[in-house]
């Protein structure tokens, strides 16, 4: 009796592929091992002993193969030497009826005998045919291999073995053992018992690991490129209950959850129903009692806790879901999106991490998809207007509705800032960034801000953010203070005092004075001509008129002339003319200034 998985390699002469057999136990006590062996096979050789016919175990294995989504196979009726022709014909008809409507519907049914060797050539030919029809697995290029065997080999050390599901592995690579996330180094690679430098998708592979004890390794773990997979403690899935499941399934029922080569105990949470009846298909969240490593799209099987019996299985949709509110239409809609095509998966991935953006490469890595397929899915969504590209090197996209919501949010943050700081002239960019990036993203910040500035919903001067048309609101006390400062500059006419003098004269604290002065400068009531000279706007205007009058008279104006005209010292005349040059009233020509 087989109790462990067996591996045999078949090389058919002149045949381009090698066929790897995984021999699984038939006994009901070892269905767990059978599931581990069958979890990622390309095709099944479904064996029914001619003298026994369709047994209970035949039915359970058949259910498991269907739930695992195995796509093709061959039916072998073994021990054909033990029955007569009539019985064989009868059994064949019975088996045809049994597999009707399944993946084995049109599979060849081949009677064989290992005693007489009858039918073995036909079987070999059928194997070659099935092998030819097996499609290449889509490869995301990132290494993943569920562990189905662990052993110690003399002179080779601790070894894990399995079938590589994606990517490749080389001697010297660092890999991760999940769900524990233990990083180890691959010392050597063996393919079909031969030492190799590397192995790749589809190959039975044994990896000799460096510095790791056999005791921490087991069937059910997954070897993967570091960071590719995360241990899952909750899994959302599409669950199909077998039509002949013994009873209904309820939320909080405890089941054995098999995926890849692993088995963990889980509680079921039904998302749309109180109970699932045999034959029904439902959305469920499995709350795992210990973590496992799986990927979107992987198949799983559930078996009752005791007595142990296969009752259903299906497809994994999300390996890091939140705890859902049951019967919540939005949550259910979200889970269903994982069942769709890649574009639907991309949309749901963006919704899940909303409002943070994603790049096609992120999706390829997270879901084990090919990069070009991910890029095509993003392009499709962008075309439909569901997502928008954020310009920049990373090539990320956001949901358009997120972009709009974030734009509103940014405006709101700025408005709130001014509400709290009515006297503030501008919101510091750094403040806006800090507040916005919490729960968002740096690339999204820049893009959203640029968009709002372009639409003139916000204005930006270097590191200061403002709202167009907004005036700083000032308290009466501040207003009074501003008026006193303004009056000082106004009273001084053309020979204005220094800022320090005004501050001292009014007996103000330097910080209070600076804030008020800054406000007056912002409002344009005072104008700073140069670092040392500040004018009231009325007298700057008078000085401008005087300058223009002089220009009309002589077509030019000098510092000395303006000095006389305004009765000021050289310092002021100089500051005024330089200012007028800067703002385009006059233009300097040697030591004269002419009309611009």
> Cβ closer to ligand GTP: 1 or 420?
1
Q: How far is the CB of 2 from ligand GTP (least distance, A)?
A: 3
Among 2, 116, 277, 290, indicate the residue that binds Mg ion (CB under 5 A). 2
- Residue 114's binding partner out of Mg ion, ligand GTP, none, with CB under 5 to 8 Å set by partner kind: ligand GTP
Among 113, 122, 522, 523, binds ligand GTP (CB under 6 A): 113
* Cα 92 to Cα 110: distance, rounded to the nearest angstrom: 9
Instruction: Give the residue with the Cβ less far from Mg ion, 2 or 434.
Output: 2
- Helix (H), strand (E), coil (C) string for 151-202: EEECCCEEEEEEECCECEEECCCEEEEECCCEEEEEEEEEECCEEECEEECC
Select from 9, 82, 89, 549 the one that contacts ligand GTP (CB under 6 A). 82
Please identify, among the stretches 78-86, 361-369, 396-404, 463-471, the one whose residues bind ligand GTP according to the rule CB under 6 A. Answer: 78-86
- Give SS3 for 212: coil
* Cβ within 8 Å of residue 396, ≥6 positions away: 357, 358, 359, 389, 390, 443
The 19-58 site mask, x for binding ligand GTP (CB under 6 A), equals ------xxx-------------------------------
Give the span between the Cα atoms of 152 and 217, in whole angstroms.
11
549 contact choice in ligand GTP, Mg ion, none (CB below 5 to 8 Å, kind-dependent):
none
Which ranges of 39-111 would DSSP assign to H, the alpha helix?
A: 56-67, 85-99
Stretch of 2-10, 66-74, 279-287, 290-298 lying at the interface with Mg ion (CB under 5 A)? 2-10
User: Could you say whether residue 281 binds ligand GTP (CB under 6 A)?
Assistant: no
Which parts of 482-511 interact with Mg ion (CB under 5 A)? Answer: none
What region, left, alpha or beta, does residue 6 occupy, with left being phi > 0 and alpha being psi -120 to 50 degrees?
beta
Q: Name the CA dihedral angle for 261, 266, 272, 274, rounded to a multiple of 10 degrees.
A: 140
Phi-psi region of 586 (alpha: psi -120 to 50; beta: other; left: phi over 0): beta
For ligand GTP, the nearest residue by Cβ is 26
CB of 26 to Mg ion, least distance (A): 6
Contact partner at residue 81 from ligand GTP, Mg ion, none, CB < 5 to 8 Å by partner kind: ligand GTP
Closer by beta carbon to ligand GTP, 25 or else 321: 25
Instruction: Give the rounded distance of the alpha carbon of 565 from its chain centre.
Output: 72
Cα 126 to Cα 43: distance, rounded to the nearest angstrom: 12
Name which position in 72, 79, 87, 267 contacts ligand GTP (CB under 6 A).
Answer: 79
Contact range with ligand GTP by CB under 6 A, out of 74-82, 153-161, 329-337, 389-397: 74-82
* Residue pointed to by tokens 């330089």: 578
Which CB atom, from 30 or from 300, has the smaller least distance to ligand GTP? 30
Residues 325-354 interacting with Mg ion (rule: CB under 5 A): none
Please state, in angstroms and rounded to a whole number, the distance separating the CA atoms of residues 576 and 564.
13
Is residue 81 close enough to count as binding ligand GTP by CB under 6 A? yes
How far apart, in whole angstroms, are the C-alpha atoms of residue 560 and residue 538?
22
Per-residue CA distances from 79 to 27, 47, 82, 114, 425 (Å): 18, 10, 6, 7, 92
Applying the rule CB under 6 A, the residues between 115 and 134 that interact with ligand GTP are 115
Number of residues this chain uses to bind ligand GTP (CB under 6 A)? 12
* Residue 543 near residue 495 (C-beta atoms within 8 A): no
Shortest distance (Å) from residue 151 CB to ligand GTP:
20
How many CB atoms are closer than 10 A to CB 266?
24
Distances (CA, A) of 372 to 4, 29, 334: 40, 44, 24
Q: Of 2 and 116, which CB lies nearer to Mg ion in the complex structure? A: 2
Return the range that interacts with ligand GTP (CB under 6 A); candidates 79-87, 176-184, 190-198, 495-503: 79-87
Site residues, ligand GTP (CB under 6 A): 1-2, 25-27, 78-79, 81-82, 113-115
Q: In the complex, which residues of this chain contact Mg ion (CB under 5 A)?
A: 2
């Amino acid at each position: 009796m087989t109790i462990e998985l067996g591996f045999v390699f078949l090389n058919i002469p002149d045949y381009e592929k090698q066929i790897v057999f995984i021999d699984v136990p038939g006994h009901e006590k070892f269905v767990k091992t059978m599931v581990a062996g069958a979890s990622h096979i390309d095709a099944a050789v479904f064996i029914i002993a001619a003298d026994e016919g369709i047994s209970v175990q035949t039915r359970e294995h058949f259910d498991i193969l269907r739930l695992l989504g195995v796509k093709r196979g061959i039916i072998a009726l073994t021990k054909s030497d033990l029955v007569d022709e009539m019985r064989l014909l009868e059994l064949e008809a019975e088996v045809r009826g049994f597999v009707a409507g399944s993946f084995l519907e049109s599979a060849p049914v081949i009677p064989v005998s290992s005693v007489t060797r009858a039918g073995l050539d036909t079987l070999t030919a059928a194997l070659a045919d099935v092998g030819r029809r097996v499609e290449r697995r889509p490869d995301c290029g990132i290494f993943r291999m569920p562990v189905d065997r662990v052993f110690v080999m003399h002179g080779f050390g601790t070894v894990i073995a399995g079938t590589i599901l994606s990517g490749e592995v080389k001697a010297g690579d660092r890999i991760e053992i999940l769900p524990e996330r233990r990083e180890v180094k691959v010392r050597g690679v063996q393919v079909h018992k031969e030492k190799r430098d590397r192995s790749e998708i589809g190959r039975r592979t044994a990896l000799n690991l460096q510095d790791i004890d056999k005791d921490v390794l087991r069937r059910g773990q997954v070897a993967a490129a570091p960071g590719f997979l995360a241990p899952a403690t909750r899994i959302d899935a599409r669950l199909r209950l077998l039509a002949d499941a013994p009873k209904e399934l309820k939320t909080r029922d405890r089941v054995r959850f098999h995926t890849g080569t692993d088995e963990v105990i889980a509680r079921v949470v039904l998302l749309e129903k109180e109970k699932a009846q045999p034959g029904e298909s439902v959305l469920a969240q499995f709350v795992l009692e210990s973590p496992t490593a799986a990927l979107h799209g992987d198949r799983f099987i559930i078996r009752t806790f005791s007595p142990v019996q296969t009752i259903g299985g299906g497809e994994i949709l999300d390996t890091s879901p939140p705890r859902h509110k049951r019967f919540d239409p939005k949550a259910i809609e979200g889970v269903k999106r994982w069942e769709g095509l890649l574009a639907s998966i991309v949309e749901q991935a963006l919704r899940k991490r909303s409002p943070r953006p994603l790049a096609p490469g992120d999706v390829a890595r997270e879901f084990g998809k090919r990069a070009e397929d991910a890029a095509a899915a993003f392009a499709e969504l962008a075309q439909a207007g569901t997502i928008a590209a954020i310009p920049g090197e990373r090539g990320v996209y956001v949901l358009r509705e997120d972009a709009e919501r974030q734009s509103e949010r940014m405006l709101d943050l700025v408005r709130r800032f001014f509400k709290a700081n009515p006297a503030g002239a501008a919101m510091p960019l750094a403040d806006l960034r800090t507040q916005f990036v919490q729960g968002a993203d740096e690339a999204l910040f820049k893009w959203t801000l640029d968009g709002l500035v372009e639409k003139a919903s916000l204005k930006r001067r270097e590191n200061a953010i403002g709202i167009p048309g907004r005036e700083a609101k000032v308290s009466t006390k501040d207003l009074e203070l501003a008026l006193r400062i303004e009056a000082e500059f106004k009273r001084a006419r053309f020979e204005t005092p220094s800022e320090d003098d005004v501050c001292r004269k009014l007996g103000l604290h330097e910080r209070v004075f600076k804030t008020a002065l800054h406000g007056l400068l912002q409002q344009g009531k005072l104008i700073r001509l140069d670092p040392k000279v500040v004018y009231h706007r009325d007298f700057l205007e008078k000085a401008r008129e005087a300058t223009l009058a002089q220009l009309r008279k002589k077509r030019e104006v000098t510092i000395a002339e303006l000095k006389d005209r305004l009765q000021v010292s050289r310092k002021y005349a100089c500051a005024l003319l330089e200012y007028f040059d800067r703002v385009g009233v006059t233009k300097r020509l040697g030591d004269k200034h002419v009309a611009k």
